[in-house]
Amino acid sequence: MKHHYVGWQVGINYQVLEPEGINFSYLKEVIDRSADAGMNFISLMMLSYAYFCPEHDGYAWPVKNPKLLPLKDTRCLNANSRTEFVSKALDYAKRKGFHCQLMMNSMIWNPAKVVINYPDAASLCQVDGKSEADGWVFCPDSPGGWQLAIDEVTDLLEFYSDSPVDSFMFERLGYDNGACFCQYSKDKFKRETDTDLGSIWWMSHLVWKGNAVREYLKKYIAIIHEVRPHAEVWAHTGGEPGWGHFPHSLSDAGIKAVSNHGLHFITTEKAFHQQLDWLSPLPCVPHICVRDIPTDNYPVPIRTPEMIFKYARWLENYPGDRILGAMFFNEVRTTERNKSAVYKVVERWMRNNRGRR
């Protein structure tokens, strides 16, 4: 295991207990404590959505594109141009030697807000026409869904164009297990395969998804690089075939690293190592959930210090050099007992690193 990227992912407004989200003093304290422990990485989650976080819904920066305004979290301090502080925090973290990352969950949006300016955005749906997640997860085959994905990442990265942003990470931007059977997907599948989507072998659907996602990601990354030519693009995914996130497709598209969310769900070391094997050849910075404050809309398994120490050992035991670090999530939904466990793990890693030099 390498330790190139070790640090927190912090929700600016996602699952934050305060109605205005976090502030600069809070984030500065996280950066200072992280640096003292030997961390060298921070990922800032710039979007919340009420489907998983009833306290907050929307973008956490001062959006400029008028079409995006209905999707802004108007209560969030950082979403107000007069009280925006993430740019200051990024500069501060960079002076501490951190790799700085911005992150969003692409294509998970409030459908009531999306329809205002993107009426041709379609939610992912099953073969029976039922929408996924009450319509909150959108299909890239729909013109409005794809345009919104482009508009939001462009707006975010343009706003922080003068800030030290080393990488951008997204989650989703794909399909779902058993989806999508919206009319846009049906028409696209017919054009590209001369076959009806509803009458195919399941494997053909998976192959088509992987190829489609690869092409979408190539375009997405090209758009990101128009704004930030040197920024790395990461994906928060476990390489789910049902999403179209085959590891080779992600790699071919230009994804530089994967922050896999296996530790949200996988409960044994062997199973976790299997997922890491599956993600080859992609470098991995595993996404380690350490939350122990319950959430209302999203059943988060409560983590303990013992679990955090166990997850650290799983990473240390994985052979080879594809593990580049660890991302601990979500600092704002974690109590002091678990934060202390995280810092103890990191301090031990850094001591061991110094001992090997």
Where are the alpha helices (H) located in 228-255, listed in sequence order?
247-253
Using only the alpha carbons of the chain, give its radius of gyration: 20
Query: So what's the pLDDT on residue 299?
Result: 83
Which residue segments constitute the domains of the chain, with CATH numbers given?
5-356 (3.20.20.80)
Q: Are 243 and 176 in contact (CB under 8 A)?
A: yes
- The reported pLDDT for the residue numbered 356 is 67
Which of these, 45, 9, 59, 14, lies nearest to 30 by C-alpha position? 9
Q: How far apart are CA 257 and CA 47, in angstroms?
A: 21
Which residue in the block uniquely carries the two structure tokens 């890239």?
A: 140
Query: In sequence order, what are the residues at sequence separation of 6 or more whose Cβ sits closer than 8 angstroms to the Cβ of residue 142?
Result: 120, 121, 122, 182, 184
The residues near 25 (Cβ < 8 Å, ≥ 6 apart) are none
Tokens of 50: 């009420």
Answer whether residue 3 shows pLDDT above 70: yes
Q: How far is CA 246 from CA 136, 173, 284, 292, 329, in A?
A: 23, 13, 14, 31, 24
79 closest CA partner among 143, 23, 163 = 23
Q: Residue 266's pLDDT is what?
A: 75
pLDDT value of residue 298: 84
- Give the pLDDT of residue 211: 97
pLDDT at residue 355, as a whole number: 67
Q: 150, 43, 24: which is closest to 87 by C-alpha?
A: 24
Query: pLDDT per residue over 186-215, tens digit each?
Result: 999 999 999 999 777 889 999 999 999 999
State pLDDT tens for residues 269-286: 999 999 999 999 999 999
- Does 357 have pLDDT greater than 70? no
- What residue has token string 């120490």? 309
pLDDT for residue 262: 72
Separation between Cα atoms, residue 304 and residue 290, nearest integer Å: 8
For the stretch 75-115, pLDDT in tens is 999 999 999 999 999 999 999 999 999 999 999 999 999 99
Tokens of 83: 């009280």
pLDDT in tens, 217-273: 999 999 999 999 999 999 999 999 999 999 999 999 999 999 998 777 778 999 999
What's the first-to-final CA gap in the chain, in angstroms? 15
**Contact call for residues 297 and 50 (beta carbons, < 8 A):** yes
